[in-house]
Structure 1
Amino acid sequence: METKVIKWGIIGAGKIALKFAEDLNTVENAKLYGVASRNLKKAKSFALKLNADVAYGNYEDLALDPNIDAIYIATPHSFHKAHSLLCLNHKKAVLCEKPFAMNSDEVKEMIATSRQNNTLLMEAMWTIFLPHYQYVLQLIKNKHFGNVIKLEADFGFHPVYDETSRVFDKSVGGGSLLDIGIYPVFAALSSLGEPNHIEADAQFFSSGADAECKMVFHYNNAKAYLKSTLLEETKTEAIFHCENGMIKINSRFHEPSTVTLTDKNGNSELLDFKYTTIGYSYEIEHFNQLIRDGKKESDVMPFNKSLQLISTLDHIRKIIGLDYS
């Protein structure tokens, strides 16, 4: 049988959308068909650069386009729910950038709308699809070095402070936690599960967005020390200290990277996964196959994982006093 070509649309024409589109163009039997931005000129420029067939100056026209099978949502966090609902209500499969939405209530509404329309929806947590990350999760599951007793995971960079930038704009979900802290949090949840107790402390910009968040997840026999910051460059590694060795996902752990295994005698091995794309190609291929198979929910990034992630982020926000309302 001939493999169905999945035609994609993208809502939003920023940096993440550009990276996604570049990888989409490397995936077999997939095509970037359309892009939409509130700025038509920007949409046309994006379409020209990435070989899309059509460009729209509003999002609804893209959602209405009968040629499009799937839509990737790459707008700021605070718009994820509205744009997902728009596409789902027009029966378009939705891959929505992380964080799925601003809080658990929004995520629950998105999931309910997906089910009501019998239409595929998935959070674009691309890390879970990367071969090196899947490899590490399997090592942990198989207790390659015994049980994990400590996890250290961080993500930090130091952009120039600009209150007009999405990164610092609290009204659209800016700040370290939702933007980059989600990755260390996900590293803990995906490897160790839900913690028994969470400690958290944060610093804030004058805009009200969090500048830095430090977290400790407590488990029965392990602790996870997590950090997100917009105040400094960090190594952005994930280090799993185990009973009989150490598993380290090297910088930057959430994207294509290498893995170092060190046994209890200090012998180390570096594993290179020979990545040839930015890394979005893996979630794209998975999503395309879900569409071809008629699936309405991913088995790799299912709704319960997205709900666990957003609920944990909600809890951390409550502890540090970060309120977006």
Structure 2
Amino acid sequence: MKSGFFKVYSSFDEFQANNHDQVVAWADLDIMSKAVRNHFLLQHVRRGGTSVGDFYYRFMPRPMNICGTRTGILVNVQLHGEEYPTKYSVKCHHFGMSSFYQKASPPDIREIFCYKLLEVIEVGPAVQFIISKEGVGNKISVYIATKWRDDFIPLSDLNKEEDINVEALVQLLLLKVLFNIDNLHADNCQWNGTNTAAIISLMPIPCAAHQDVKEVLLGQHRMNWNHAPADLLFEKCSTERFLEIVKKWLQEWDLLSKIDKAAALIKHERDRVKMLENDFRMIEESEYTVAMDLDEYLDAVKSNVKNLTSALGLNV
């Protein structure tokens, strides 16, 4: 006869076997939270914090009803000298610590670049990148922490055509074409009270320099959102109006200089990824290095910006 002590272990073993994915997910979130906490604690100390007592940190699994990536955590952090806590949404860009995720794509420096670029042009929220060795096997994990903005409005919450800003929709399409950003679903839309698009989650894919960016842009002229009010608004937007919006934001964003600025701002992360290349969990027989260079991608997106700017008669 088993004692109560062994019954507990037996019950847990059975639960773990039947709920393996969920058990591993909980463990991964705990490891993620520890890495994120250490990242912000270091910032707290650098700001002059002398004790953990005045450092506030709380985390929770990301609720399913909140837009953006479904895998990750929400954290509230208050550092030394700050009056109120700040909320961040944290997603795992590269799993290095999980026994469940036996294979993983190498960290994609293009995605890190795109998040920083969107912050610079104020389409995305402020972002921080966390490179950590917390977890199993001393493998490196990479997390992306974006500052949560309460003025964010997802397209999926806008059911009336008059509530949707056509400029924001055109901006989303423009950025998608120029930078080959994927995963721009209906949970991305606009900042409240502005005509500025909001992108809170993305995934870049290999980018090629288009021969005629204007033709590609006009050929798409909509996003695959399956969102009737937005689709109708696009259909009502004439080509002339569409191109007026494109011209306006090409000039407003000054993308060529912002591309260089964003690339410079992630130099630290780019250098660390290169230095730690052998410590990342990799796909078997992958032909790519972890620190796949940004140069080819940046050349392509700059070419796209110049191509479209010239086609629209703007100064490059």
Tell me the TM-score range normalised by the shorter chain: under 0.3
**Structure having the larger proportion of residues in strand:** 1
Scaled by the length of structure 2, the TM-score of the pair is 0.26
**Structure having the larger proportion of residues in helix:** 2
